[in-house]
Structure formats: structure tokens, C-alpha cells
Amino acid sequence: MKFFVDTADLEEIRDLAASGLLDGVTTNPSLVAKTGQDFFEVVKEICKIVDGPVSAEVTATDHETMVKEGRKLAQLAKNIAVKVPLTKDGLRACRQLRDDGTMVNVTLCFSAAQAILAAKAGASFVSPFVGRLDDIGEDGMGLIDDICRIYEQYEHFETEVLVASIRHPIHVIEAAKMGAHVATVPPKVLRQLFQHPLTDKGLAAFLADWQKTGQSIL
């Protein structure tokens, strides 16, 4: 499973990229707005930090303008994945941008039917929002399972399942069990994956025993 981080905070991205565990970044207009910085400068800087796909979202809702915005975003860096909404116009824009050779992340997916359409439109990634489905009493992880099962039936589908709106580590674990290709997580959740009380307890015991020997490796 690949890990993308869902943020536009440059310091967070630099820190996580240094861990060697980061495969890409997803952003959206809301995340960039929180930085208070110029949208294009933020995206270009992220693309310098991370070699993998960096999703940058269009703000238009009609096909023609989406394509224009997508082409402008794609010029920012080679690793840009243009993010478009899962609407009729968004899927049409997806096909046109993919024909240009641009990676496309089709976002705001909430049903298996939508995911099928995204794959048929040639999306590089489809982003089902599990947390938002859970919020309204639906089964977010059940949707991931459905999409993964469907995609497995068709070898010509090259779309990767990018699990979005992740709220906690269990979402990541369950998505990995189902064979999802990518999890895009907030920085806090990515760091939570490191944590376990028994690891901390074991490390403390090892260090205490080593200190008693009075020895040093260096």
C-alpha cells in the first residue's frame, strides 16, 4: 500500500517525506487556503519535496473550464495529478486530460457505481471518502471492499483505489486488508501508525538494561 499525506502544510510534508514512508500528497482548495499562501507556489513547492503524485484540484464545475484549469495545473510539475470531481463534467474532463497524458484523481466518490465510471473514464486514481460515509451512518469501508472486488474483475481497469477521508489507523489497516492501492491520511493519523504502548515499554526496558552494562556502541 502506498501512503499519501493529505495536507498542504509544507513543514509537515518535509518532515514526513524525510521518513522515507511518503509516496505522494493530496491537497484540495480548503487545505491550501489554510496555509494563507499562494496556491501555485504551494503546489510547486510540494512537487519539489515529493517525487510521487501530488493531487491539485480544479475549482471549475463545467467540463471546458475544468480541462483548461487541469492543463494549467499539469504544467506546474511532472508529478501533478489533476483532481476533478466525480460528476458528468468531471469524468468528461478526466478522459480528455488522460488523453493528454496527465494523471487524474477523480475525487468525491461515494458509490461503487461512480467508481466504475471513474475507471471507464481512465482515472489514474479514484478517491472514495470513507469517513464522510461513516458520518452519515453508511459503511465507508464496505464501499472500499466493493470497489476493490469490482476492479479485480477487469484487468483493463488501471485505476488505483485511493482511500480518502481517513479518520484513524483502523481505516488504513482495513483498507490494506482489502487490497486498496493507496491511503491518503492526515499527518496525525500517519504518525499514529508508528505508535504502540508495547513498543514504548519494550524499548524502555532494553535501554535500561543496556545502561546497566556501562557500555557504548560509539
Any idea which residues carry the catalytic annotation?
A: 83
CA distance 71 to 55: 13
Query: Taking the CA of residue 173 as centre, how many other CA atoms within 13 Å lie in the half-sphere pointing to its CB?
Result: 6
Helix intervals (H) in 75-111 = 88-99
CB burial class (10 A; 0-12, 13-18, 19+) of residue 86? buried
CB of 181 closer than 8 Å to CB of 2: yes
Q: Which among 195, 196, 194, 166 is positioned nearest to 180, based on CA atoms?
A: 166
Cell digits of residue 138: 453508511
CA separation (Å) from 86 to 22, 114, 150, 198, 199? 26, 7, 18, 43, 42
Distance, CA of 184 to CA of 191 (rounded, Å)? 13
Q: Which residues pair with 81 in a beta bridge?
A: 55, 103
Backbone angles phi, psi at 136, to 5 degrees: -105, 20
